[in-house]
Structure 1
Amino acid sequence: MTNFAKTAASALTAALPFLLSSGSLSAQDADPLSFTPEVNTAGQAAYERSCSACHLATFQGSFEAPALAGPNFSLVWTERTLNEFRATIRTMPPMAPNSLRDAEYDAITVYLLGANGAERDGRVVRADREATVGSLLAGTATAGAATASAGRGAGAGRGGGAGGRGGRGGAPRTEPEGVTETFHEIIDFEPVTEQELLNPDPGDWLIYRRTYDSQGYSPLDQIDRSNVDDLGLEWVWAMADGTNQPTPLVHDGIMYLASPMNTIHALDATDGTLLWEYRREFADDFRVGFSQLRNLAIYGENIYVATKDAYLVALNARTGETVWETQIADYHLGYTNVAGVMVVEGKVINGINGCDRFHEESCFITAHDAATGEELWRLYTIARPGEPGGDTWGDLPFELRGGVDVWNTGSYDPELGLVYWGTAQAKPWVAASRGLTVEDAALYSNSTLAIDPDDGSIVWYRQHVPGESLDLDEVFERILIDRNGQRLVFSMGKHGILWKLDRETGEFISHLESIYQNVFDFIDPQTGDVRYREDIASAEVGDWVSVCPSTAGGHNWQSMSYSPEVNALIIPLSQTCLEIQGRPVALEPGSGGVGAARRYSEMPETGGRLGKLAAYEIDTMEELWSVEQRAAYLTATLTTAGGVVFVGDLDRYFRAHDVRSGEVLWQTRLGTSVQGFPVSYEVDGEQYIAVSSGLGGGSPRVIPRALSPEIQHPSTGNALYVFKLPSR
């Protein structure tokens, strides 16, 4: 292990919110804990400010943030020491560990223990290495009921933008609403037709990856390999704090941009003038967690927004006023939106996520009438008992089947009449924690689904990794390419394996391994079937397993793009490894979660180079070139007809590479880490490149950030940067 890795491995143990592993607090360093109502109230306020956005006011947790009350908390913490618990709390918040005052951490500790049954009777508990968390608990609270027992009420501070801003006159806000300010109505707006979505103007960027095939390729060529080093900054738009990974849309010189917390801006794409702004006002009991929305959709005269509180909203593209909104799912159950929607044949299609808790609903994809918001169909991504694939979950009843989230936007082939969507893994992450083995395929997890957009039926599916057990999901973009008479669909998940399928039938054609992986000891070259290493397949709850790559990938949400010039996919990759331990999870309604502890390290033989950018020729499935560096890549790639590929990284660099060789042709450094989906557009004969700086996020950012602590960047600075060549 390199010196970098030695430093980072220990740093990571203390940095990640979902690790909940070691950490220690000496008796000499720890002040006594006072279990008084006053300390509890202070802890409640501090928790609401700094913790509830991810762990929720109900303590049930969300995504990678574990439950902090109830049976799963008891299973993890009852036999562990109070000092361990106090030390772990000090590793929070994840992006700013140990940033609260000692008194705040102690108050949060008291508050959480009280939520789990500890009496707040004024006693003072002194630090003791042998005292266990369980010894302080008078009973076991459930995650939902813990809210009431902990005294949650109107006195809790909200702070930090974690939820709604309160109703008018201080009254609680029980329903969400949108607030729009129109500064300049867009008079000359031309509605976007279905034909334009099928064949967009070269100067527009109307869809998440520009076109339905998700190639992430711009046909503009004014900026090329001969002049890209003349690029200069044209304008900047500051964005709200929070997790930021947007894709700007551009139509007829107007840019539509999603900021954190579901704030939507319409901007003049030539100079950044604000035209209108829509702000989502959430209900007071909603907590946002990760606040990003990766893409919007445009169709007709509307902009479509999938909100963090699991609604779908249509905004008038001219004014920003709400046209309609409809609730897709109940956010109280953890449902949320991250990716955004696509519009196909007048239908707004959305994949939901936040499906890691056990209840009688599961994850799903829905289609809605673009004019009214009426739901037209709903496809559940977890097979139910008695249905095809229902027996692939063992004997688990439907309400104990978790995960299979849909947190990336799909692709569409209009000639075949199919949309292609990827699905995530089953949850809890480790098969043993969900009461299954890797032999239980858990359909339709980790699959490519080919769906009929007319009725939501599955025409074919390909499950890439049945029974996945390491939090290495295959949910990301599906790129559609026609080549040599074949209609192909390409995808890559966290395993770093590029899958090549026939998109008419789902038949496996080929694969390649882009980075070192030791998860599978065999991949059948004829069928694509995978076989886990024996120690992974046989792992029980409590067993540690070491694998490469980690949950950062391989590949993650930072989408790849296609370059017709070199017939290659250019892919941002991550090179880290993982140790994972399945935790006990109560198999009962209301429980669930991800149920695992994790540790990370650098990938062997990489010399500490965590980021890799590589081009893969799609006929031969061979690597053409690669660039490796210390900093992780945190943007999608953008390829252009000018022979250039753009990409950004954790170390604030935004670069242009030659698609033929990977040579760096131009670079600039932004205000903070570069994160999101760069786009290119044209207005009045001039080509622009837009990219966002961004903070926040899950494994693709947090893991390399902790493994490379020497890479520093400001903790604020979300913004959109727009570049172009000097005017002629």
Structure 2
Amino acid sequence: MSKSNRFSGLISYLSILITAHAHGAPLSLEDNWASPRKDNFNQAYSRLKQINASTVGKLQLAWTFSTGITRGHEGAPLVIGDILYVHTAFPNNVYALDLNHQQKIIWSYFPKQSEDIQGILCCDNVSRGLAYGDGKIFLQQNNGMLVALDSRTGQKVWEKQVNDPKTGATNTNAPYVFKDKVLTGCSGGEFGVRCFLAAYAINDGHEVWKAYSMGPDKDVRIGPDFNQANPHYSALSVYEDVHGGNKEGGAFKALSKDRLVFPEKDLGVRTWLKPQAAGNGWEHGGGPVWGWFSYDPALNLVYYGTGNPSVWNPDVRPGDNKWAMTLFARDLDTGMAKWGYQLTPHDEWDYDSVNEIILWDHGKQKLATHFDRNGFAYTLDRRDGTLLVAAKMHPFVNWATHVDLATGVPQKDSRYSTHEDQETANICPAALGAKDEQPAAYSPKSGMFYVPLNHLCMRYEAVEAKYVAGQPWAGASLTMFPGPDGVMGGFMAWDGLKGEAKWYNREPYPVWGGALATAGNLVFYGTLDRWFKALDARSGKLLWQFQVGSGVVGNAMTYAHHGKQYIGVYSGIGGWAGIALNQGLTQESDGAGTAGAFRDLAKYNAAPGGGALNVFGL
């Protein structure tokens, strides 16, 4: 990381240091885990190295904390000074634990949420974490309520309703604090909700700005300077046969750059060419924002991705369906979009683009890398969105042959296009993606990304579905099965500039636990069959593992307390990977295809999975 970025990082941590000092803790940036992925850049990298390749073999379980809640426990706890903050799946309880006194509970917060919320949460009752800033802990409840709690007492400071569950809108994302704002998003792509990213004032919760994923430019907060460096990202259509591609046997042929029509306005309306059973397509367009957000203080830009267009049946929404499936960079103060790049125009497979965007530097290059569900890994210039690398994470990806770097458009393979009442077989990857929400990590020490992977393919049939407000609106049936490697998961080290894997380890099941990289030349992650693992970051060699009580869908993290380093991870199987198991679903297509594919997980996990925090030390 450059000196300028280190300086920016120091400024952003000032409030954390002040709070840590007030709690009696030593003033150390590295001792804390103060953001969902540790820092603004979402690298999930720690410079702590007491636990390293030489000592990791002595790692032992130090303590555990049972949350008392079943279902999937995603995300990671926060550590600020001498206090560790735990969150749970629905009903999203929060605990503050005293690290000085045997993890005694200092305070707890129990939200009052209707049990009905569970019925409209897609892909399990998960919460991806908490945020910290200005002496407050921020919780985004599943019912759309954003809550600010006093970090020392747990008393509610303010609350803000950001989504209406009656429309099918919920929240599973972790909020993020950047400067004087807390950012949150929206889930509901399978309910026809038009989602957004919104910023609220950290002091009192008033709305500062809201940017929708689709609609007129004023709603999406697109101005005249949008995509200045890459105006072709604002093309009216990137495919030749927009209409012909939406009939049986039809496909989409990518246009060359000289044939693109750009720049055009109001693409969030004009690229939705047919009403979807009710009103205009874009009005129920999806584009959920439930992943991870990153921020460059020097550029004052916040980065995030939008999810799938509603509905999963692509035939009822001809066009590129902008700005679903898009990576955005926005000015933090105004919400105005600096650039936006759509990864999967006219999505036909539910390849949400909400996965994390990791910021990093290479010499003078200011870069951003994103591992998409569609199976491609992208590296862009984060200043203006210029695409530098777009490469398949694994050869099994077949829905597109390649991405044209000149236009940024994927060349689709018509054999794997999906259409209403037509079953398409052997699409790779499955809707779970080559990587889903489980975030990767980046090590400035090795220069590599460490990426949890899914290795599944699918059969997909789009079906007719009518929009009814507040009711599920999927419009597709699918089943999943292992990819050509014969396994369902993997974990790899990736070179973001070359666009290639340095090493790749197979895993019997999808790796649904987020990665952690450390200066001790280690990388940590958990598995659905209950293993928590440490690998040599340079070679991928397994150095240590421990079997926890339930499958891991949480993200590994680390902190130091009184001079000793600890590694922590939630266990508690769930998320999309475990929802069928948790609910006792058994038909092949149940759980959006996971019931059949993951049936053997019942041999390793009690259901529903019980939540716990597992902490390890030397």
Query: Residue in 1 aligned with 2:313?
Result: 430
What letter matches 2:32 in structure 1?
D
Name the SS of the counterpart of 1:426 in structure 2. coil
2:142 maps to 1:313: no
* Percent sequence identity over aligned pairs: 30
Structure 1 position 527, deviation (Å): 3.7
- State which of 611, 621, 630 in structure 1 corresponds to 2:489: 611
Q: Count residues with an aligned counterpart.
A: 524
User: Which deviates more, 377-386 or 315-324?
Assistant: 377-386
What letter matches 1:659 in structure 2?
A
2:147 maps to 1:269: no
What letter matches 1:266 in structure 2?
A
User: Which deviates more, 330-339 or 227-236?
Assistant: 330-339
Note the alpha carbon deviations across 1:415-456, whole angstroms, 9 max, x for none: 011000111010111311xx123xx11111111000111111
Query: Residue in 2 aligned with 1:723?
Result: 616
Structure 1 position 483, deviation (Å): 0.6
Structure 1 position 590, deviation (Å): 6.4
2:410 maps to 1:580: no
Structure 1 position 395, deviation (Å): 4.0
- State which of 448, 455, 458 in structure 1 corresponds to 2:327: 448
Name the SS of the counterpart of 1:281 in structure 2. coil
In our comparison, the structure showing a higher alpha carbon Rg is 1
Taking the TM superposition and a 5 Å limit, the aligned residue runs for 1:312-391 are 312-358=146-192, 362-384=194-216, 387-391=266-270
User: Which deviates more, 304-313 or 620-629?
Assistant: 620-629
- State which of 78, 84, 87 in structure 2 corresponds to 1:258: 87
Q: Distance in 2 between matches of 1:574 and 1:707?
A: 12
Query: Contact 1:393 / 1:401 at 8 angstroms: preserved in 2?
Result: no
Query: Residue in 1 aligned with 2:249?
Result: none
What letter matches 2:490 in structure 1?
K
Q: Distance in 1 between matches of 2:386 and 2:455?
A: 29
What letter matches 2:303 in structure 1?
Y
- State which of 277, 283, 286 in structure 2 corresponds to 1:403: 286
Name the SS of the counterpart of 1:625 in structure 2. strand
What letter matches 1:561 in structure 2?
A
TM-score normalised by structure 2 residue count: 0.81
Q: Distance in 2 between matches of 1:651 and 1:696?
A: 12
What letter matches 2:597 in structure 1?
L
State the superposition RMSD in angstroms. Answer: 2.2
What letter matches 1:381 in structure 2?
S
Q: Distance in 2 between matches of 1:710 and 1:589?
A: 36
Q: Distance in 2 between matches of 1:644 and 1:559?
A: 16
Looking at secondary structure, tell me which structure has more strand per residue.
2
What letter matches 2:481 in structure 1?
S
Taking the TM superposition and a 5 Å limit, the aligned residue runs for 1:264-663 are 264-269=94-99, 271-283=102-114, 286-287=117-118, 289=121, 290-358=124-192, 362-384=194-216, 387-396=266-275, 397=280, 400-432=283-315, 435-437=316-318, 440-515=319-394, 516-537=396-417, 539-546=418-425, 547-586=427-466, 593-604=473-484, 606=485, 608-663=486-541
Query: Residue in 1 aligned with 2:585?
Result: none
Q: Distance in 2 between matches of 1:284 and 1:387?
A: 39
Query: Contact 1:551 / 1:699 at 8 angstroms: preserved in 2?
Result: no
Higher RCO structure, 1 or 2 (CA under 8 Å, sep 6+): 2
2:80 maps to 1:248: no
Distance change in 2, residues 1:518/1:638 (3 Å) = same
Query: Residue in 1 aligned with 2:246?
Result: none
Q: Distance in 2 between matches of 1:699 and 1:720?
A: 19
What letter matches 1:274 in structure 2?
I
Q: Distance in 1 between matches of 2:331 and 2:63?
A: 42
Name the SS of the counterpart of 2:528 in structure 1. coil
Name the SS of the counterpart of 2:544 in structure 1. strand
Q: Distance in 2 between matches of 1:286 and 1:545?
A: 33
Structure 1 position 693, deviation (Å): 0.6
Structure 1 position 718, deviation (Å): 1.4
Taking the TM superposition and a 5 Å limit, the aligned residue runs for 1:109-124 are none
Q: Distance in 2 between matches of 1:689 and 1:445?
A: 36
Query: Residue in 2 aligned with 1:671?
Result: 549
Structure 1 position 285, deviation (Å): 5.4
Query: Residue in 1 aligned with 2:30?
Result: 202
Name the SS of the counterpart of 1:719 in structure 2. strand
Structure 1 position 665, deviation (Å): 0.6
2:113 maps to 1:232: no
Name the SS of the counterpart of 2:351 in structure 1. coil
Q: Distance in 1 between matches of 2:382 and 2:309?
A: 24
Q: Distance in 2 between matches of 1:251 and 1:418?
A: 25
Structure 2 unaligned spans of 5+: 1-15, 22-26, 218-264, 581-592
Q: Distance in 1 between matches of 2:506 and 2:114?
A: 45
